Structure 1
Amino acid sequence: MIFNAEGQVLMLLRSDNDCWCFPGGAIELGEKVEDAARREVFEETGLEVIELELYNVFSGEELYYKYPHGDEVYNVDIVYRSSNYKGNLTVNEESRRARFFDLEAIPDNISPPVIPIVQDLLTKIHR
């Protein structure tokens, strides 16, 4: 999760399911999790993450997802957060748009495996 100076969180509108998500993706063979997080953010947003902080690890039945092309998975999401980054925001072919949202204004159409993460984030800010 990338946060700007105003405390807004960056979300991407996915091209495949027309839902919002955080930047992320799969770890390549032999890759460290932190390196994968930085690589995926850069590939999907053009932003270079300087510092990462572990947010949480999400797994279980609620992270089941069936991709539009038919693959079925149970994701294990290792989520980092950062507000220390540089670069110009862009999107690649995986997304239609990128936008920073106030936490109270996160859209309703969240990509299914991201819903538990958004719910956790919103619960923590309302404590």
Structure 2
Amino acid sequence: MFRMSESERITKKRRTPAPIPRQLLGHLKRWQSQGCRWAVEYNGGMIKDPKRGFAKAAKEAGLTDVSPHTLKHTAITWALQNGVKTWEASGYFATSQETIEKVYGHHAPDFMESAKRAVERRRK
């Protein structure tokens, strides 16, 4: 999945291609069979401003203080809780490994595990 449209200008933001999760792929295939051309559409056309569309959907759902970035935080947290290594999460979510470790690292099941084992180890 490429996260940038062909018409977007290239910036310093890292938008690397990423594999599509099978759950989303199923929806994409179904939508395509129903005539959709875009992953996110409104009235049969590509949305022009995802930020506005997200804000409107959040408002209609009664959600406050939520943004696409909030969803990214949640996805990274869940990935680490499910055992994804920081290096892989970094590539998948287009976020530096340093940020993943610093901000989300404590969510990993093996967070500080070797340090804990060292403290628990008996000395001879």
TM-score (norm 2): 0.23
Please say which structure displays the higher CA radius of gyration: 2
More helix by share: 2
Structure number with greater CO (CA < 8 Å, separation at least 6) is: 1
More strand per residue: 1
